[in-house]
Structure 1
Amino acid sequence: MPDTPAKSSPGRETSAQLQQYTALELAQALAEKLAIEPNDWHRLNRNRKVRAKEQLAAALVYLLSDQPEEALMRTQQASGWLDHSLTAPPCPTHGPRTR
């Protein structure tokens, strides 16, 4: 049986199509995709994996924009989310959390 090329889903970019974008443009698109939307903030702001992904995507944008200090800060924040050394501050509109 002969090999058939993989079909791409409608709306999915192929590797060749992605070549038209710069690495910075792709990183910016990824950062936008992984950013927590305002409507999802309260649901996701303490989700460690979501926050780490968001920070690492931002770090990549800063690194590709020749801002290594900002990239390092975002990478450290992502690490803090993953190793539990960082926690979300209380919501400014709801005040500090009480237990």
Structure 2
Amino acid sequence: MIPATSSPSQSLDEYSTLELAQAIAARLSITPNDWHRLKANRKAQAGQQIGSALVFLLKDQPEAALTHLNQAAGWLDRSITAPPCPTHGKH
């Protein structure tokens, strides 16, 4: 918990913009354990892609950022659907 004498912005100032973006991306990432539950959740999928896009943008990798932004847009406009589980269907 942030002490009462400091504001949230003061504690956030301790971190670089990239570190904050990486923390957001980590929070928005879909773990393998959650993949089945969230595979069709468009908000979760788009959020994961946008978090990644922000990290790539801040790392001066605009092409990778754009790829992730396009993926996020696809989830939101319903032009993308979840792929089948990689562990199913294999014999």
Whether TM-score is above 0.5 comes out as yes
Once residues 25 and 43 of structure 1 are traced to their aligned partners in structure 2, the CA distance between those partners, rounded to angstroms, is 28
Q: What is the one-letter code of the residue matched to 2:56?
A: Y
**Conserved in 1, the CA contact under 8 Å of 2:53 and 2:69?**
yes
Once the two structures are overlaid, the 10-residue window that deviates more, 13-22 or 48-57, is 13-22
Determine whether 1:20 maps to 2:14. yes
Once residues 22 and 83 of structure 1 are traced to their aligned partners in structure 2, the CA distance between those partners, rounded to angstroms, is 32
* Residue of structure 2 in register with 1:44 after alignment: 38
**Conserved in 1, the CA contact under 8 Å of 2:53 and 2:68?**
yes
Once residues 79 and 89 of structure 2 are traced to their aligned partners in structure 1, the CA distance between those partners, rounded to angstroms, is 22
Once residues 75 and 16 of structure 1 are traced to their aligned partners in structure 2, the CA distance between those partners, rounded to angstroms, is 30
Of structures 1 and 2, the one with the larger relative CO (CA 8 A, separation 6+) is 2
Alignment equivalent of 1:29, drawn from 23, 28, 34: 23
Q: TM-score, normalization: structure 2?
A: 0.89
Computed over aligned residues only, the root mean square deviation of the Cα atoms, in angstroms, reads 1.8
Deviations 1:25-73 (A, max 9, x none): 0000000001012211110011100000000010000000000000000
Residue 11 of structure 1: how far off its partner (Å): 5.4
* Residue of structure 2 in register with 1:4 after alignment: none
Residue 92 of structure 1: how far off its partner (Å): 1.3
Q: What is the one-letter code of the residue matched to 2:75?
A: W
How many positions carry a matched residue from both structures? 87
Q: If each structure's helix is expressed as a fraction of its own residues, which one has the higher value?
A: 2
Q: Which has the larger radius of gyration?
A: 1
Once residues 25 and 63 of structure 2 are traced to their aligned partners in structure 1, the CA distance between those partners, rounded to angstroms, is 18
